[in-house]
């Protein structure tokens, strides 16, 4: 009888889930959680299979681990909750705002923001890394993309924290209140961009057209909301947990200080090693058998990316090691298939520039207290992480 683990509980993900993942990959790679009723998938190939078969595994009925207290929040018509063919059409339209070129032109802006954040830090001081350094960049970039006034980013952060941290007792703002305020704010912004377009992504999307179809106000509203929730805490988590990995592996940090051209590869390894989004879920649309287990039509299937990203069959016998020069590194931290992350290039850009500037200025990083995580099953972000930054001077 294999050991059972509390895969439904936020505490499982805020702790260290990796030993349990390893055991489950070996003993029960497709296992049922009978507390909140879902199948968990631990193996890389199974997760690829589910992600690339949207006709058989739907996103429309929920994409998170079932939570009896907060029933699956589905937002009908929102990109991430749609299946083909509607998903393909929506995604094509939205992609017009996320081309490689459009993301690349953001680099000077990203660098300005990072330099501005680090200009306020004095060498040798201890600071709250997660709040002070990791959090501002992703939120400010989303405000930038949407063409929202720069000063509104703090408010964005409060709303986004309330939406992603519903299980965390320290987050006071009710998620429903946050969603209401956020929608009202975006409604006004969309109306403003429709009447006076600028060169931001929201303006591009108000005019985007494919096969005679345009995005409606509801589509834009859903998308602006998704952008804030999907792009904020995730990237913050990558930057904070990536920094923690560099603190815990000084030999790997040294390799980046000695040769900064290794940073893009290091960001891929941080994505693999930390898997900032723990899972996404699907609903089986027909009975299907996976590794001898019968998954019935209507069952929820949860894809544990952190486990897939350490699957020995893909990453070899050093899968549990953090190695910034790992190559190849086919991680699926951004998911894969139809719904794979639309903001992946932006997240990569933000993290690369952040670590280039951080390590260029402060090669010495020291953890000087406990790391506190947000109580959440999907993005158990870093709440507190006191770090001392030094130059060696």
Cβ atoms of 39 and 28 within 8 Å: the answer is no
For the CB of residue 223, give the shortest distance to ligand HEM in the complex, in Å. Answer: 7
Our CB check for ligand HEM shows the closer of 118 and 344 to be 344
Q: Which of residues 3-62 bind ligand HEM (CB under 6 A)?
A: 51, 59
Our CB check for ligand HEM shows the closer of 28 and 269 to be 269
Cα–Cα distances in angstroms (integers) from residue 167 to residues 10, 92, 280, in the given order: 8, 34, 17
Q: Which of residues 168-227 bind ligand HEM (CB under 6 A)?
A: 226-227
Rounded to whole angstroms, the Cα distance separating 390 from 247 reads 12
Residue spans of alpha helices (H) in the chain: 10-14, 18-27, 44-51, 86-95, 100-104, 107-119, 129, 136-146, 153-164, 175-195, 201-207, 217-231, 233-248, 250-258, 263-274, 305-308, 312-315, 344-361
User: How many chain residues are in contact with ligand HEM, going by CB under 6 A?
Assistant: 27
Cβ atoms of 305 and 278 within 8 Å: the answer is yes
> Does 231 contact ligand HEM by CB under 6 A?
yes
For the CB of residue 316, give the shortest distance to ligand HEM in the complex, in Å. Answer: 22
Of 102, 101, 104, 113, nearest to 354 by C-alpha is 113
Q: Which of residues 81-120 bind ligand HEM (CB under 6 A)?
A: 91
> Does 341 contact ligand HEM by CB under 6 A?
yes
> Nearest 5 degrees, angle CA 287-CA 17-CA 237?
100
> Does 347 contact ligand HEM by CB under 6 A?
yes
Only one of the segments 27-35, 208-216, 275-283, 383-391 lies at the binding site for ligand HEM (rule: CB under 6 A); that segment is 275-283
Q: Which of 20, 63, 182, 241 binds ligand HEM (CB under 6 A)?
A: 63
Of 356, 379, 61, 113, nearest to 228 by C-alpha is 379
Q: Which of 133, 346, 349, 387 binds ligand HEM (CB under 6 A)?
A: 346
Of 275, 276, 272, 256, nearest to 352 by C-alpha is 256
Our CB check for ligand HEM shows the closer of 8 and 282 to be 282
For the CB of residue 31, give the shortest distance to ligand HEM in the complex, in Å. Answer: 20
Q: Where along the sequence are the contacts to ligand HEM (CB under 6 A)?
A: 51, 59, 63, 79-80, 91, 142, 226-227, 230-231, 234-235, 238, 276-277, 280, 333-335, 339-343, 346-347
């Amino acid at each position: 009888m294999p050991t059972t683990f509390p895969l439904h509980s936020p505490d499982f993900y805020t702790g260290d889930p990796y030993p349990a993942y390893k055991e489950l990959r070996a003993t029960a790679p497709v296992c049922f959680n009978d507390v909140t009723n879902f199948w968990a998938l631990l193996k890389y190939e199974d997760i690829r299979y589910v992600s690339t078969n949207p006709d058989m595994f739907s996103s429309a009925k929920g994409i998170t681990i079932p939570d009896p207290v907060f029933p699956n929040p589905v937002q009908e018509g929102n990109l991430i909750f749609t299946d083909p063919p509607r998903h393909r059409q929506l995604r094509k339209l939205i992609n017009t705002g996320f081309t490689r070129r459009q993301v690349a032109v953001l680099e000077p802006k990203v660098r300005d923001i990072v330099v501005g954040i680090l200009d306020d830090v004095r060498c040798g001081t201890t600071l709250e890394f997660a709040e002070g350094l990791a959090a501002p960049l992703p939120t400010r970039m989303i405000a930038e993309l949407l063409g929202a006034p720069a000063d509104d980013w703090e408010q964005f952060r409060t709303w986004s924290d309330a939406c992603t941290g519903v299980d965390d007792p320290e987050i006071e703002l009710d998620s429903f209140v946050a969603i209401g305020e956020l929608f009202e704010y975006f409604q006004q912004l969309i109306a403003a961009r429709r009447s006076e377009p600028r060169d931001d992504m929201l303006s591009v999307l108000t005019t985007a057209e494919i096969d005679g179809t345009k995005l409606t106000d509801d589509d834009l509203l859903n998308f602006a909301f998704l952008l804030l929730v999907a792009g904020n805490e995730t990237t913050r988590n990558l930057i904070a947990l990536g920094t923690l990995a560099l603190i815990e592996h000084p030999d790997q940090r040294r390799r980046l200080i000695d040769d900064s051209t290794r940073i893009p590869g290091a960001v891929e390894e941080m994505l693999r090693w930390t898997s900032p989004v723990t899972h996404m879920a699907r609903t089986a649309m027909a009975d299907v058998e996976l590794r001898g287990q019968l998954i019935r039509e209507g069952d929820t299937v949860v894809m544990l990316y952190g486990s897939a990203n350490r699957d020995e069959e893909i990453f070899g016998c050093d899968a549990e090691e953090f190695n910034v020069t790992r190559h190849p590194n086919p991680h699926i931290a951004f998911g894969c298939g139809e719904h794979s992350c639309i903001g992946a290039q932006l997240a990569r850009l933000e993290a690369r520039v952040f670590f280039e500037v951080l390590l260029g200025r402060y090669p010495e990083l020291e953890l000087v207290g406990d790391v506190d995580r947000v109580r959440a099953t999907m993005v158990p972000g870093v709440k507190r992480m006191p770090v001392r930054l030094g130059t060696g001077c």
